[in-house]
């Protein structure tokens, strides 16, 4: 049988579901598969059907799988049958030793990924076919070996003479094979120094016992390091004596690279999730405390009430920014961040960023110095996003600087550019971390002891936003304990495009009371917003489902309708279209209030007839402003 994929395999497992899954995997790979559910049935089919390989589970209802393997290997009629033993991870270390000692040719821990199962089956069958070919004819073996990517080799155990190495050796090792010297630590003599002792011991066991199965690194003549998986085995003559040692070596460098990448990604994911949980819990604690203070049995003083309200307001803003950052990460990966360009004055952008970070700076009692140019400097960009960049850099400096630290922000005019430098005397950055400072989910220090660890989002967002503005961002640090500096460079707006300042206009208009319908399936959210709107004199009615909303609309004729999008039974888009179709609400001010903020969501709002689209949590003053503008017009 020349094609391993056409081999007959016996799949032995008492678990019907697991047996069926493994059979389907093997059949899809082209193998012919028999099944057995007990040890006795397996032994019968091995003797009568002569499968090339038995996929054998350890746990069987009658005979332990290890005993089944032993009987197969000690019976002269079935001893040549390959056995791939499997067992659950919980008993992996014990069963693996017992399985291999009992004669199993290989061992896998369940659950087994389909590619791993197929790869192991194919590898065992390749080895077996190689053994058969060697027994039949060494020349035929050479012809076969020259047409595969794996490296085949053959060694005389009496003289240590390397009798044959397939042409693939040159591709993997980067040079031609040579006969090893007496007492060589490995037949190829190119083992990486870090693996040398382990492979030398395994190679001695190969020469004396005829067993070798290792993964190790080799160093090519050009210095390139490659990973190799190798299995050595004895070749016996008609009398059962070992007269040759042979083996197969495969290039597994790509697999090892992927394993390292996955391990690193998994570690970073775990760190990110741990920090996310920490960051989410931080603002929730003061919010809960403030609410309990406001709900105390005795009526709190106006000062205490205002303090509690301020705490909640600050922490909600913190949570909102955290969610916005996470959404921005999604937009970055999809390339969907867009800018609303306008002339942006840098002093105003810095002021907005400082206002955002002021509570954090005060909390840690940092001394911050601000150095701004005498003349206004304008760039073409998105004012919110530029302030976000500066705020992220200030937040980074604040987090990684111990209490009573020194921060500074300096804005300077340099040629056709403006430079914004944010400097601190905090913990600094290691040299090897400087190059990774702007990678997603990478934190300068992520140990649990550091309560200010962050999510590793701020700096990557800053870099992306700076790139979109046609600028650059750089990180500098002399090392741990030496502080750090981040410098943003943005192109200045040409002089002929700089806007002329104008005085703000005060309309002096008073608030207008309106009939207002609020629809949200969250009872608490609807009630809270209703109370706030009621303080402005609006006549507010609430509904928690679309049908109640339609009934209220007919009876109440609201002038303003605020709709949640995610409603039960009918989404807000459909409800908005129905409201627009009713004579009493066709001309109402229609406001979407939702947790969905992608551009596609906004487009759907416009198509449904909404006048405004707000993303939760929204500032009450923003809702108030659009209602006032509509009332005034």
Tokens 């697999």 correspond to what residue? Answer: 255
User: Average of pLDDT values for 224-248?
Assistant: 85
Contacts of 264 (CB under 8 A, 6+ apart): none
**Average model confidence (pLDDT) for the chain?**
81
Q: At what angle do helices 523-534 and 620-632 cross, to 10 degrees?
A: 50
What confidence score (pLDDT) does residue 205 get?
83
| Closest CA relative to residue 195, chosen from 278, 256, 126 | 256
Class (C level, CATH) for 515-632: alpha beta
The residues spanned by each domain of the chain are 4-129, 138-251, 263-332, 342-497, 515-632
Contacts of 290 (CB under 8 A, 6+ apart): 307, 308, 309, 311, 312, 315
Residue 12: exposed, middle, or buried by beta-carbon count in 10 A (0-12, 13-18, 19+)? buried
Task: State whether residue 564 is helix, strand or coil.
Answer: strand
What confidence score (pLDDT) does residue 506 get?
43
User: Per-residue pLDDT for 328 more than 70?
Assistant: no
Cα–Cα distance measured from residue 82 to residue 65, given in angstroms and rounded to the nearest whole number: 14
User: Per-residue pLDDT for 220 more than 70?
Assistant: yes
What confidence score (pLDDT) does residue 574 get?
92
Beta strands in 151-271 (DSSP E): 151-156, 161-165, 212-219, 225-236, 242-251
User: Average of pLDDT values for 207-223?
Assistant: 85
Task: State whether residue 302 is helix, strand or coil.
Answer: helix
DSSP string of 530-590, one letter each residue? HHHHHTTT-EEEEESSHHHHHHHHHHH--SEEEEESS-SSS-HHHHHHHHHTSTTTTTSEE
β-sheet bridge partners, residue 10: 34, 54
- Stronger pLDDT, 78 or 317, i.e. the higher one: 78
- In this structure, of 219-228, 441-450, 556-565, the range with the lowest mean pLDDT score is 441-450
382-395 confidence digits (pLDDT tens)? 887 888 889 889 98
What confidence score (pLDDT) does residue 94 get?
73
Per-residue pLDDT band at 313 (split at 50, 70, 90): confident
Residue 109: exposed, middle, or buried by beta-carbon count in 10 A (0-12, 13-18, 19+)? middle
- Stronger pLDDT, 540 or 94, i.e. the higher one: 540
392-430 confidence digits (pLDDT tens)? 899 889 988 999 999 999 999 999 999 999 999 999 988
What confidence score (pLDDT) does residue 452 get?
47
Q: Which CATH number fits domain 138-251: 3.30.565.10, 1.20.59.10, 3.30.390.10, 3.30.450.20?
A: 3.30.450.20
183-213 confidence digits (pLDDT tens)? 677 878 788 988 988 988 888 887 777 778 8
481-511 confidence digits (pLDDT tens)? 899 999 999 999 988 888 765 444 443 444 5
What confidence score (pLDDT) does residue 137 get?
61
Class (C level, CATH) for 342-497: alpha beta
The single-letter DSSP state of residue 539 is E
- Stronger pLDDT, 310 or 53, i.e. the higher one: 53
- Which of 121-125, 232-236, 306-310 has the highest mean predicted lDDT (pLDDT)? 121-125
Per-residue pLDDT band at 97 (split at 50, 70, 90): confident
What confidence score (pLDDT) does residue 399 get?
86
Tokens 């079935």 correspond to what residue? Answer: 78
What confidence score (pLDDT) does residue 576 get?
93
419-471 confidence digits (pLDDT tens)? 999 999 999 988 878 877 777 655 554 333 344 445 566 787 788 889 889 99
What confidence score (pLDDT) does residue 70 get?
92
Homologous superfamily of 4-129? Response regulator (3.40.50.2300)
580-618 confidence digits (pLDDT tens)? 999 889 999 999 988 776 777 888 889 999 999 987 766
| Closest CA relative to residue 371, chosen from 318, 321, 416, 423 | 423
Cα–Cα distance measured from residue 542 to residue 523, given in angstroms and rounded to the nearest whole number: 9
What confidence score (pLDDT) does residue 111 get?
83
CB 146, CB 165: distance < 8 Å:
no
Q: Which helix (H) or strand (E) holds 488?
A: strand 484-491
Same fold, 4-129 and 515-632: yes
- Stronger pLDDT, 229 or 352, i.e. the higher one: 229
Per-residue pLDDT band at 514 (split at 50, 70, 90): confident
User: Average of pLDDT values for 61-90?
Assistant: 88
Tokens 């060697």 correspond to what residue? Answer: 134
User: Average of pLDDT values for 219-229?
Assistant: 89
What confidence score (pLDDT) does residue 447 get?
36
Phi-psi region of 539 (alpha: psi -120 to 50; beta: other; left: phi over 0): beta
Considering the domain 263-332, what is its CATH architecture? Orthogonal Bundle (1.10)
């Amino acid at each position: 049988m020349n094609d391993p994929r056409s081999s007959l395999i016996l799949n032995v497992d008492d678990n019907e579901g697991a047996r069926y899954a493994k059979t389907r995997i093997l059949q899809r790979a082209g193998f012919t598969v028999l099944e057995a559910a007990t040890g006795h049935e397996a032994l019968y089919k091995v003797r009568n059907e002569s499968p090339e390989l038995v996929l054998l589970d350890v746990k069987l209802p009658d005979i332990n799988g290890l005993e089944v393997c032993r009987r197969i290997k000690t019976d002269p009629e079935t001893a040549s049958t390959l056995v791939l033993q499997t067992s659950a991870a919980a008993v992996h270390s014990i069963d693996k030793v017992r399985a291999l000692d009992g004669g199993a040719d290989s061992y896998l821990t369940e659950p087994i990924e389909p590619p791993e199962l197929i790869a192991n089956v194919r590898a065992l069958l390749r080895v077996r076919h190689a053994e058969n070919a060697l027994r039949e004819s060494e020349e035929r073996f050479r012809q076969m070996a020259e047409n595969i990517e794996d490296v085949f080799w053959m060694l005389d155990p009496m003289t240590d003479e390397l009798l044959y190495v397939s042409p693939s050796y040159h591709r993997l090792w980067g040079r031609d094979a040579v006969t090893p010297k007496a007492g060589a630590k490995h037949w190829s003599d190119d083992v990486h120094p870090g693996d040398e002792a382990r492979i030398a011991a395994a190679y001695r066991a190969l020469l004396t016992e005829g067993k070798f199965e290792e993964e190790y690194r080799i160093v090519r003549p050009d210095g390139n390091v490659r990973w190799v998986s190798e299995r050595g085995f004895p070749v016996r003559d008609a009398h059962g004596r070992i007269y040759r040692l042979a083996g197969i070596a495969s290039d597994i460098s790509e697999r090892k690279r992927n394993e390292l990448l996955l391990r690193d990604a998994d570690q970073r994911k775990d760190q990110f999730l741990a920090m996310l949980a920490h960051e989410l819990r931080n603002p929730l604690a003061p919010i809960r405390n403030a609410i309990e203070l406001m709900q105390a049995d005795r009526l709190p003083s106006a000062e205490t009430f205002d303090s509690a309200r301020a705490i909640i307001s600050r922490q909600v803003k913190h949570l909102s920014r955290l969610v916005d950052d996470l959404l921005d990460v999604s937009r970055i990966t999809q390339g969907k961040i867009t800018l609303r360009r306008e002339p942006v004055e840098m002093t105003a952008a810095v002021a907005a960023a400082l206002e955002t970070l002021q509570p954090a700076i005060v909390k840690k009692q940092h001394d911050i110095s601000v150095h701004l140019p005498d003349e206004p400097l304008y760039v073409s960009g998105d004012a919110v996003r530029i302030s976000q960049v500066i705020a992220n850099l200030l937040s980074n400096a604040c987090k990684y600087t111990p209490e009573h630290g020194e921060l500074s922000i300096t804005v300077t005019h340099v040629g056709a550019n403006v430079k914004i430098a944010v400097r601190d005397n905090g913990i600094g950055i290691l040299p090897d971390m400087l190059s990774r400072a702007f990678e997603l989910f990478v934190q300068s220090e992520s140990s649990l002891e550091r309560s200010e660890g962050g999510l590793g989002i701020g700096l990557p967002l800053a870099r992306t936003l700076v790139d979109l503005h046609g600028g650059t961002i750089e990180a500098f640090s002399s090392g741990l304990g030496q502080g750090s500096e981040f410098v943003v460079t943005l192109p200045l707006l040409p002089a002929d495009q700089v806007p002329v300042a104008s005085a703000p206009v005060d309309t002096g208009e008073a608030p207008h009371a309106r009939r207002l319908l609020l629809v949200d399936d969250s009872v608490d959210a609807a009630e809270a917003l209703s109370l706030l709107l009621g303080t402005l004199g609006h006549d507010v009615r609430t509904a928690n489902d679309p049908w109640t909303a339609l009934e209220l609309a007919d009876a109440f004729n609201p002038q303003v309708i605020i709709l949640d999008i995610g409603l039960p039974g009918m989404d807000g888009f459909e409800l908005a279209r129905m409201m627009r179709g009713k004579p009493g609400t066709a001309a109402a001010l229609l406001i979407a209030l939702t947790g969905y903020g992608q551009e596609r969501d906004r487009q759907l709002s416009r198509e449904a007839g909404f006048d405004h689209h707000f993303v939760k949590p929204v500032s009450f003053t923003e809702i108030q402003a659009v209602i006032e503008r509509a009332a005034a017009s």
